[in-house]
Structure 1
């Protein structure tokens, strides 16, 4: 009886070539005769040419990745420089009463934020009647305390948006709770900073918040002086 032998598959051939690295040494003439279709048109190319094209494509892809990494690195350096200038400028403020306005104005200047506002509560008695310490409901204070990271997204009718000069132009907002220590702690907030832009994508829900967290923590450290006599 004739025994049924399964046909040789492409996988069988591939496995054989992988496990027989000296095959093309024994049959070197095959390398010159194998013709493949080039991905850049319908012309036929040799195996060596196809390998060279694949290497060039890999090199080009790596170059794009490197350029993208360099671009992101440069952007991070620029943001870090702006953060440094902002922190330096608020540290130079001698008047406690002028601190909140400086925090806001420097954010708008250094980070090119169209609108920003701030409220601080639980301040020392001599600051209790200042604009930055009034006009905040208990619900807004509780909401600020509930945030353990900056909120970024659309304006959903937040009270903090009413602190801005032009609420109609607040298409996207960032809400930064102010508290002593790290922003992610469960301690009660003593203030909130709101940033806004007419660009719906400026403060999008999926954006990274690392630099916003640094801003919130630095602002909190500076503004905590308002709670002392």
Structure 2
């Protein structure tokens, strides 16, 4: 910090000058020639510009930054509207499915087509005796069931070798995945899971640990509500 030495007095610092100007808004009205003579270096071309011009450049930069943020907000809003529309169409398809035995495959097939998810699998356990031998009710270990019950939100991230990945047609192609527990009530409730929906992709960024999960939570709750028709 630069200090101005004054004989017989404490040095005046830049903070002293800044505080004086901040508390003396009429200074530049009394000394307009000072304001006009101040020259600063422009960040655009290293040329000297007046204080007013430098302030105008700063305002233009701020406006450009705000415009960028607004465009991002609009883009995210449009993307969310598109996803919400797809989610509604998916839910309507579940409601129109009359045969409960068709629900697991309908859920997986519509997620693949509506949301362009490369691989989808679903398992449901605790079903009624009449459905206990269906493919969707077989091949799930107790550890996988316990893990599903431990999830109070969708898991999103890299594939560390979950058993559920083996439910997919091409497990070796999975790089990122989302695991959605299926349970009665809200996804974060304490009730045990009675199934799990697996979404997988070869794209490492498709399902990453920092992504928002609001729509995945709604998918989990809608699928859970539809699949209760298979239970005892």
* Same fold at TM > 0.5: yes
Residue number among 92, 96, 118 corresponding to 1:92 in the alignment: 96
Deviations for 1:130-160, whole angstroms, at most 9, x for unmatched residues? 1011111111111111111111112222111
* Number of the residue aligned with 2:204: 200
Residue number among 90, 108, 115 corresponding to 1:104 in the alignment: 108
* Number of the residue aligned with 1:220: 224
**C-alpha distance in structure 1 between counterparts of 2:9 and 2:37, whole Å:** 30
- TM-score, structure 2 length as denominator? 0.94
**Structure 1: runs of 5 or more not aligned:** none
* Number of the residue aligned with 1:123: 127
Tell me, yes or no, if structure 1 residue 191 matches structure 2 residue 195. yes
**C-alpha distance in structure 2 between counterparts of 1:44 and 1:154, whole Å:** 52
Say which is worse superposed, 29-38 or 91-100, in terms of deviation.
Answer: 29-38
**C-alpha distance in structure 2 between counterparts of 1:84 and 1:195, whole Å:** 18
Residue number among 152, 168, 175 corresponding to 2:172 in the alignment: 168
SS in 1 for 2:87: helix
**C-alpha distance in structure 1 between counterparts of 2:56 and 2:195, whole Å:** 61
Structure 1 segment 151-162 matched on structure 2, within 5 A: 151-162=155-166
Q: CA deviation at 1:4?
A: 4.0
Structure 1 segment 65-76 matched on structure 2, within 5 A: 65-76=69-80
Moved over 2 A (4+): none
Deviations for 1:77-106, whole angstroms, at most 9, x for unmatched residues? 111111111111111111111000000000
**Structure 2: runs of 5 or more not aligned:** 1-6
**C-alpha distance in structure 2 between counterparts of 1:105 and 1:164, whole Å:** 13
The number of residues matched between the two structures is: 226
**C-alpha distance in structure 1 between counterparts of 2:153 and 2:168, whole Å:** 21
**C-alpha distance in structure 1 between counterparts of 2:40 and 2:221, whole Å:** 60
